[in-house]
Amino acid sequence: MKPRHFISLLDLTSDEFRTLIQRAIDLKNNRNPDFTPLKGQVLAMIFEKSSTRTRISFETGMTNFGGSAIFLSPRDTQLGRGEPIRDSAKVISSMVDAIMLRTNDHATVTEFAEHSSVPVINGLTDLLHPCQLLADMQTYFEHRGDIKGKTVTWIGDGNNMCHSYINAAIRLDFNLNIACPEGYLPNTDLVKSAGNRVKLFTTTLAASEKSDLIVTDVWASMGQEEEQKLREIAFKDFQVTQALMDAANSDALFMHCLPAHRGEEVTAEVIDGKQSVIFNEAENRLHAQKALLELLMCA
Ligand code: CP
Ligand code: NVA
């Protein structure tokens, strides 16, 4: 039987997504050290890029559940020396119970999944960051209840996080206003796939009006470091400021997947302010991913 993978949020149905969020909240609120459903199981974690939250949350989640995780860097494995992805997928999946990958190229994760005999989890690619959205949505539900019918505003780069917000809007049925500079818009097919749930804006203020949640991310993602200076110019009018938070609904929240650059994509006033829930959001990576590991590995 083919294993169940988590490459995109669209791999979950709307009901599964909501159930997973509730399960994450339950795991967070009712911690039980004797609950070890993954006892003896092993998660391999392959990181082509840096990580703090993703690595620690998956490793801690596996340990909490009685299992363990192995950190693998391409620098130290044969993957980095050109061993074919399909061979690596067959070999690694023959020895472990699930595999998480963070890769530069989305196609690496999809090819790996095709040849893996165990569940593959996307821990971030250039296209998507679905694990982060599990935590973001859990955080919204915890603070404000179901997000269905609410309005979320994405400010900044039309990047992997923005793409995953589009998929979340499809599955959880919320409106998504996206304001990006010209030349940095999200993938056109993804935008089209969301139909009239997604609206593109050219100014941040109009995109923020009547919003329930404002979200942003770095201007230059991992692998785009050499574009930093160019992007600082292109994105200068795409900073989340208190004026944008004030244009949104009075109970609007602010989120950022982190790491953040205060004074670039968001002011310190906003990210360290009362509406910001960034540290709940970061912690929820652990709880949401434990719910995901349970879904994929305990079935
Ligand atoms: N938000 C996030 O994925 O953080 P890391 O890069 O630290 O894993
Ligand atoms: N868009 C960012 C997200 C980091 C968690 C990146 O890809 O670097």
Q: Tell me, yes or no, whether 1 lies in a domain.
A: no
Query: SS3 of 89, please?
Result: helix
Q: Tell me, yes or no, whether 4 lies in a domain.
A: no
What burial letters (b/e) apply to 61-100, b meaning 16+ CB within 10 Å? bbebbebebeebebeeeebeeeeebeebbeebbeebbbbb
Residue 97 and residue 22 share a domain? yes
Residue 145 and residue 30 share a domain? no
Residue 72 and residue 141 share a domain? no
Residue 141 and residue 267 share a domain? yes
Closest CA to 172 of 204, 138, 216, 124: 138
Q: Tell me, yes or no, whether 198 lies in a domain.
A: yes
Q: Tell me, yes or no, whether 266 lies in a domain.
A: yes
Residue 187 and residue 161 share a domain? yes
Ligand nearest to the CA of 216: 2
Sheet with 151-155, edge to edge strand ranges: 198-201, 175-179, 151-155, 213-216, 253-256
Residue 139 and residue 273 share a domain? yes
pTM (two decimals): 0.98
| Residue in 5, 23, 102, 256 annotated catalytic | 102
Residue 209 and residue 252 share a domain? yes
Q: Tell me, yes or no, whether 257 lies in a domain.
A: yes
What's the average pLDDT block by block, 10 residues per block, for the chain (299 residues)? 96 98 98 97 97 98 98 90 96 98 98 98 98 99 98 98 98 98 98 98 97 98 97 98 98 98 98 98 98 95
**Ligand 1 atom nearest to CA at 50:** 6
| Residue in 106, 231, 285, 287 annotated catalytic | 285
Residue 129 annotated in active site: yes
Residue 258 and residue 184 share a domain? yes
**Cα–Cα distance measured from residue 293 to residue 97, given in angstroms and rounded to the nearest whole number:** 10
Q: Is 177 in the pocket of ligand 2 (CB under 6 A)?
A: no
Domain that holds residue 110: 9-129+285-297
Residue 256 annotated in active site: no
Sign of CA dihedral 200, 202, 203, 206: negative
Sequence-distant (≥ 6) Cβ neighbours of residue 183 within 8 angstroms: 234
Distance from the alpha carbon of residue 59 to the mean position of ligand 1, in angstroms: 13
Q: Tell me, yes or no, whether 156 lies in a domain.
A: yes
Distance from the alpha carbon of residue 53 to the mean position of ligand 1, in angstroms: 5
Residue 132 annotated in active site: yes
Residue 53 annotated in active site: no
**Cα–Cα distance measured from residue 58 to residue 123, given in angstroms and rounded to the nearest whole number:** 9
Sequence-distant (≥ 6) Cβ neighbours of residue 228 within 8 angstroms: 219, 220
Q: The domain spanning residue 96 has which CATH number? A: 3.40.50.1370
Residue 220 and residue 83 share a domain? no
Distance from the alpha carbon of residue 192 to the mean position of ligand 1, in angstroms: 28
**Cα–Cα distance measured from residue 95 to residue 37, given in angstroms and rounded to the nearest whole number:** 19
Residue 257 annotated in active site: yes
Which DSSP letter does residue 82 get?
A: T
Closest Cα to atom 1 of ligand 1: 257
Residue 150 and residue 269 share a domain? yes
Q: How many domains does the chain have?
A: 2
Q: Tell me, yes or no, whether 164 lies in a domain.
A: yes
Q: Is 217 in the pocket of ligand 2 (CB under 6 A)?
A: yes
Distance from the alpha carbon of residue 236 to the mean position of ligand 2, in angstroms: 19
Residue 107 and residue 150 share a domain? no
Task: Identify the pLDDT of residue 74.
Answer: 85
Q: Tell me, yes or no, whether 2 lies in a domain.
A: no
Q: Is 260 in the pocket of ligand 2 (CB under 6 A)?
A: no
On whether the CB atoms of residues 213 and 245 are closer than 8 A, the answer is no
Residue 146 and residue 220 share a domain? yes
Q: Is 51 in the pocket of ligand 1 (CB under 6 A)?
A: yes
**Ligand 2 atom nearest to CA at 54:** 5
Q: Is 54 in the pocket of ligand 1 (CB under 6 A)?
A: yes
